[in-house]
């Protein structure tokens, strides 16, 4: 038997419109009123039969499955498990399926929330406004105008399915398809809600209170169940996911639960030592610079970092020392420095072993100045 696709001259991936155009073109050439040739009439019958099969979605699907889908000689494995499955394919599903529900779960949504380093030290509360679908207040998700209700479909009797006879290779068979009148729901809505147009939900701005825990970092996602868009026809809400982005801070950076920063210390303060109070992200902090502090040293202030997301306590504040050497001196300052240098036994500058640890402690940003 000739292949239906070859008869119409289309590919197996042809769209319904392409199949219809191919049939009309051939029909104009082969119709008995136009072409009385006997061979053309026989071909016209083949073209008509091919179109009847391929223009019907159910018959086309059955045809595409082919005999090998159910009669390949082996009813196990990849084929049919039993004769009922074969019957199901060719006779429209075998068992009567019930009507489908109008209710559909709402979509999940992913939102990005930006926070500061100060926010993540102890956590922060934010009220987030989102544009989403909410349950219609007029009909409370029923899709019906108040005072009305869905009615049983008169076409399918509430089953949501319609049976009809179609011609196939095996003769006339019964197929089961969703009812076109109620679209398979089994009910119709004579008076749809005027607010939501029978959808059971409308678009609105919704305020979501969000508690962001301490210690979160960029890329962390917070899950809020049933806070997403409302489902259709009273269906369950979807979920919300909030992805955190920690904004850049000009002074502080983060290393896991520790905070890093650079403290510029004048040369004389590094020589003599000093104590300074500087503003941190969670209030002022006192930093002791001991006498003789060298450049690139790291001063650790315990428990002034970020609260740990998992576990207890906080990280540390690590302060890298950057000694500032004056570049312009007046005559008096220059004289004092010269007297200081002459009063000490000076060694000429010389190379020493490369201090790898010094650089690893401060990280790249400590050398940006």
Average pLDDT, the chain: 82
Interval 47-70 mean pLDDT:
76
Taking residues 361-365, what's their average pLDDT? 49
Decide if pLDDT at 355 tops 60: no
111, 52, 334, 69: which is closest to 243 by C-alpha?
A: 111
pLDDT of residue 360: 53
Q: How far is CA 335 from CA 99, 236, 267, 338, 346, in A?
A: 99, 82, 16, 5, 17
Q: What is the pTM of this model?
A: 0.62
Q: Is the pLDDT of residue 94 over 50?
A: no
Q: What is the pLDDT of residue 154?
A: 87
Instruction: Inform me whether the pLDDT recorded for 141 exceeds 90.
Output: yes
CB 115 within 8 A of CB 216: yes
More confident residue, 223 or 180: 223
Q: Which helix (H) or strand (E) holds 84?
A: helix 83-90
Q: Is the pLDDT of residue 92 over 50?
A: no
Q: What percentage of the chain reaches a pLDDT higher than 70?
A: 82
pLDDT at 86 over 50: no
**Structure confidence at residue 7 (pLDDT):** 87
Give the whole-angstrom CA distance, residue 342 versus residue 105: 84
The string of pLDDT tens digits covering residues 197-254 is 999 999 999 999 999 999 999 999 999 999 999 999 999 999 999 999 999 999 999 9
Task: Label residue 164 by pLDDT band (50, 70, 90).
Answer: confident
pLDDT band at 83 (very low <50, low <70, confident <90, very high): very low
96 or 13: which leads in pLDDT: 13
pLDDT in tens, 310-327: 878 999 999 999 999 888
pLDDT classification of 67: cutoffs 50, 70, 90: low
Domains recognised in the chain with CATH numbers: 4-90 (1.10.287.110), 105-137+192-247 (2.60.260.20), 253-367 (2.60.260.20)
What value does the mean pLDDT take over residues 250-272? Answer: 92
How many other C-beta atoms can be found within 10 angstroms of the C-beta atom of residue 324? Answer: 14
pLDDT score for 306: 92
Nearest of 105, 86, 104 to residue 94 by alpha carbon: 86
6 phi-psi bin (left φ>0, alpha ψ -120 to 50, beta other): alpha
pLDDT at 77 over 60: no
Q: How confident is the model at residue 136 (pLDDT cuts 50, 70, 90)?
A: very high
- Which residues, in sequence order, are CB contacts of 207 under 8 Å at separation 6+? 127, 128, 129
């Amino acid at each position: 038997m000739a292949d239906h696709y070859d008869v119409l001259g289309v590919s197996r991936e042809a769209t319904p419109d392409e199949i219809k155009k191919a049939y009309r073109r051939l029909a104009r050439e082969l119709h008995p009123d136009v072409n009385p040739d006997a061979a053309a009439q026989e071909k016209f019958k083949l073209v008509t039969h091919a179109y009847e099969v391929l223009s019907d979605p159910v018959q086309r699907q059955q045809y595409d499955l082919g005999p090998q889908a159910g009669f390949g000689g082996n009813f196990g494995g990849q084929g049919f498990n039993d004769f009922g499955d074969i019957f199901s394919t060719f006779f429209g599903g075998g068992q009567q399926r019930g009507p489908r529900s109008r209710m559909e779960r709402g979509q999940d949504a992913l939102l990005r929330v930006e926070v500061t380093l100060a926010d993540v030290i102890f956590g922060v509360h934010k009220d987030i406004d989102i544009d989403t679908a909410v349950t219609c207040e007029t009909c409370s998700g029923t899709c019906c105008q108040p005072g009305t209700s869905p009615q049983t479909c008169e076409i399918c009797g509430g089953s949501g399915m319609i049976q009809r006879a179609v011609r196939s290779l095996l003769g006339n068979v019964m197929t089961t398809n969703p009812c076109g009148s109620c679209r398979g729901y089994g009910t119709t809505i004579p008076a749809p809600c005027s607010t939501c147009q029978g959808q059971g939900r409308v678009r609105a701005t919704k305020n979501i209170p969000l508690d962001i825990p301490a210690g979160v970092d960029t890329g962390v996602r917070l899950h809020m169940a049933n806070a997403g868009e409302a489902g259709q026809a009273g269906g369950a809400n979807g979920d919300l996911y909030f992805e955190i982005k920690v904004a850049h801070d000009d002074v502080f950076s983060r290393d896991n639960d520790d905070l890093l920063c650079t403290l510029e210390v004048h040369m004389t303060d590094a020589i003599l030592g000093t104590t300074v109070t500087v503003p941190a992200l969670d209030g002022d902090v006192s930093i002791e610079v001991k006498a003789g502090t060298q450049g690139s040293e790291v001063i650790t202030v315990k428990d002034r970092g970020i609260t740990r997301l998992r576990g207890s306590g906080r990280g540390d504040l690590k302060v890298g020392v950057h000694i500032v050497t004056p570049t312009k001196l007046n005559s008096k300052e220059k004289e004092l420095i010269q007297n200081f240098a002459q009063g000490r036994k000076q060694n000429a500058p010389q190379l020493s072993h490369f201090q790898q640890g010094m650089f690893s402690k401060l990280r790249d940003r400590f050398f940006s100045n």
